[in-house]
Structure 1
Amino acid sequence: MEETIDEIVQWLQERVHEAGVNGLLVGLSGGLDSAVVAHLIQRAFPENSLGVMMPLNTKPQDMEHADKVIKSSGINGMTIDLTETHQIMYSTISDQLKQKNAFKEENDQLAGANLRARLRMSTLYTISAHYHYLVVGTDNASEWYTGYFTKYGDGGVDILPLVEFTKQEVREMGQYLGVPDDILSKKPSADLWEGQTDEDEMGTTYDKIDAYLKGEEIPEQDKEIIDKMHQSTAHKREPLKKFHRS
């Protein structure tokens, strides 16, 4: 594990030097993946790493967990509350859609949730411009394969250090790095709406996705869910399509 972590830390340092920037930052949700990234980037740049907490109608426990990560990793911290910003922006957009008879109630929750993720992305890049840091993503192999991230939201980052590792491998990495136990054991959630959990939304579990990626046998129902997610989210993993003149 130490060799793996050292390899990731060296890779992070190389990316920063290659880009000619000063350091790295990550959005801290209070969840496992961002906690592991916080510990990794602090190892890579002890004085030039930043964890940004961006509450948006967020449960107090999640902010407590994010604060624990600041302390356990030793990373610098910052908090930007986006609750009011999201409320104003989404209500303004919704009002205009309603005037055009284009507002769809069935799309309301997801549209609002994706705006949350994209506001957080915009916040991180605004901060990174001042610090001259790269924005580090938290997607693991399971999330990347299934497309379980918001395009131009939490998927809008500069580098992805965990994308080759399954959720279980990230958890093991977190144990080694000293991520607090209550974060290691909590249910994964993207904090998109109240009570939301990743596995409930996906309809399968990370354990089954991890097993599938390793080539192990899983129930056919779960395999179908995973395959469908992978196919329907291909556009998130592919380069932007461009028109080419003939």
Structure 2
Amino acid sequence: MKIIVVAICVFCITAVDAFAQFPYMKKRAEELSAAYVRLQSDSSASAQQAFLRAFPEEWTDFLCIFDYIDLGGRDTERYIERFGSLTAVNDTAYCIKLLMLASGADLEAGLPEAFRNMLHQRLECCSCVRSTKEISSNKDVLPIVFMLLADALPGDQMRFWQFYWSSQHSKEGGFVSHEQELMRMRGRLEKEDYKDLTEIMEIAYKYFNDGVLYLYDKRFKAD
């Protein structure tokens, strides 16, 4: 009986919290939408900064806000692509948001996959195809990313690299391997004097590059 009462209390608290969050998330979604619309005709630094401020930082907020905007499909991906093409913003603030989202993301759906593709393009991944000249002409932010990762906990470093190397698809299906990108990242870490980050990056690569097949409901099989 006590278990049932506790379960009901937890459900009620969760429901009340979700209801209380609705106006806040709705307002944030409206702010992001307005900032995006502004960018269509105004690419100034202030317009880009406004979009960066409005863009969510936590992955749960990321999903909720885009759910409120209720775009879906290609329209939602345009928001992500626009985030990836920001250049006239504070680089450190931008990279913090990039890492926060990447370290909290889950590749179980198409939206995170779109974000991962943007992340690869933004960090100039040599095994991805750049979809626009705008993305390929972005500033090199890897030194800042490495600096932030160096100050992060090892577990947070691992979560970032897990997301970076993971894929929804197996390379056996014809999808590109990231071995060349691993070599590039290793070289950049050495060049930027962040060799201490190499071990975690390589462990994540070993177990997550083509090691996790998302969107597959038979990951574990009985003999």
User: TM-score normalised to the size of structure 1?
Assistant: 0.31
Higher helix share: 2
More strand by share: 1
- Larger-gyration structure (1/2): 2
Higher relative contact order (CA 8 A, sep 6+): 1
